[in-house]
Amino acid sequence: MAVSADADTGTVAVLDVGKTNVKLNAVTSDGFVLETLSVANPVLPGPPWRHHDLESLGEWIFASLADLGRRHPLQTFVAAGHGSGGVLVGDDPDMAAGAALPMIDYEQPVPEKIQLGYAPLSGSFFDRGSATMHSATHQARQLYWMQEHAPDAVAAACWYLGLPQYWAWRLSGVAASEASLLGAQSHLWNVAERRFAPIVGTRGWRSLMPDFADAWQVLGSARPELVRRHGLPEGLRVLTGGHDSSLNHYRYHAGGLNDFIVVSTGTWIVGFSGRTALDRLDERRGMTLNSDVFGRPLGGVLTMGGREFSHVAGREPPDAAVPDDVVLGLIARRSMALPSFGDDDGLFPGSAGRGRISGPPPETPIERKALALLYCALLTAECVEALGPGPLVVLDGSFLRDPLYARLVAALMPNRRVRFNLDAYGVASGAALLASEGRRRRPAPLSLADPGDVSYLSPAVAVYASQWRARARAGHNNGFSRDFERTYR
């Protein structure tokens, strides 16, 4: 039975499992990252499907935990991970990395037979929490594929665990389900009604789902055999852990914010709001229903901003910050990047693969970067507007490396307060703060910056944004032939 932490949290070891890279961080109890170790997240070819190399990754994690423990007084371990990964496990965490079947790489294409068989079982939007996305993205579809491929292995398995809970189980031997991870487009959990999706009962999976534990609950201590074998810190407490983006959102909650929209930028632009009405959610526009760490609904929106940026800016955009006069020149010329360049529709249904440059194209690398930043600021504003009311918008992530991005977003939303956070370790900080949840006497430290006066940008940006939005929403059959167009591939 999971219990709440009741001792000094000390330094927290945070495992952040991304699709491409895995990071192990030593983090103070108030969320300050002291040290980070990282490694590529290895993927092996099939059969039966492309899958993650959990055995080699586990060896790296345990060795790195021991390494960090020699330099930092680690008392607590917690894992964060993306919502598109799950592991079917047996009863022994040490045999074949505990996996009953290999963990499917969510970018592995799904056989047509699996797609067709899964679709009618996947339920309503609220059962899924999202549209059905590309490849093997959703945990329910992965488990369905496993069951169709190897029904005996699924029948003999003990648990199906999300990534953070898998690593908690590997360390502690205790299995748990957790709301924010299952509420991250797993297609297993109806966040709105706090119940399992119908497919769980239909396919006989309920016995594979362990009891729920809060993200901050202590499942147990690191198993003695792991401590002896790898030299792990004695008495290392293991928390349940949670979904990476939900933990980033939690960081701002722990910092004392109550009514806010957070937009994180990177490969994806991810927006979250706890105030979004359920009837605003539109799966055709990349909107999702997520869960915060307390099990409450989080309105979400997703668009592949980083990929869109790369299509417009080019493979190696200049490192230099974009001068204001460059972007103002593009605005004056009405040079526009119109969605969507990648294979994802994002906020604009039917736009995938139809991205174009309308008007005079950028002529230099810095102009291309400027247009990419302007385009992604417009996408960010669309994400915020989709989520609805909220007086405060907090930006974080990789786009903030160029100060122009925050200024453009602020200029696009003059009726909201826009602030930004240059801390690049939001997930690690949020995860570490779980260790003091329920016992925090004051808000966790949080430093937000003001983009400054953007009044010189606002008039030009407002007119440009209105024209861009009309074209982007109407699609590419609305007079684009009058413009010079160019597609970047």
What residues contact 3, with CB distance under 8 A and at least 6 apart? Answer: 217, 218
Residue 352: the pLDDT is 93
Residues 6+ positions from 99 with CB-CB distance below 8 Å = 54, 87, 88, 89, 90
User: Residue 447 burial by CB count (10 A; 0-12/13-18/19+): exposed, middle or buried?
Assistant: exposed
Q: Which pLDDT band, with edges at 50, 70 and 90, does 5 fall under? A: very low
What does the pLDDT read at residue 9?
66
φ and ψ at 114, to 5 degrees?
Answer: -70, -40
Closest CA to 379 of 312, 476, 316: 312
pLDDT over threshold 50, residue 34: yes
pLDDT at 437 over 70: yes
Question: Span 336-345, mean pLDDT?
Answer: 93
Question: Is 1 a residue whose pLDDT tops 50?
Answer: no
Of 1-5, 161-165, 365-369, where does mean pLDDT reach its minimum? 1-5
pLDDT bin (cut points 50, 70, 90) of residue 22 is very high
Bridge partners (DSSP) of residue 297 are 291
The model's confidence at residue 8, banded by pLDDT at 50, 70 and 90, is low
Q: At residue 477, does pLDDT exceed 90?
A: no
- Per-residue pLDDT band for 485 (boundaries 50, 70, 90) equals very low
The DSSP annotation for 395-410 comes to EEEGGGGSHHHHHHHH
* Predicted local confidence at residue 36, as pLDDT: 97
Is the predicted pLDDT of residue 348 greater than 70, yes or no?
Answer: yes
pLDDT value of residue 336: 98
* pLDDT, the chain, mean: 93
Write out the two tokens for 241: 């852990």
Q: How do 392-397 and 260-265 pair as beta strands?
A: parallel
Torsion of CA 147, 151, 156, 161, to 10 degrees: -10
Of the candidates 136, 168, 143, the residue with the CA atom closest to the CA atom of residue 157? 143
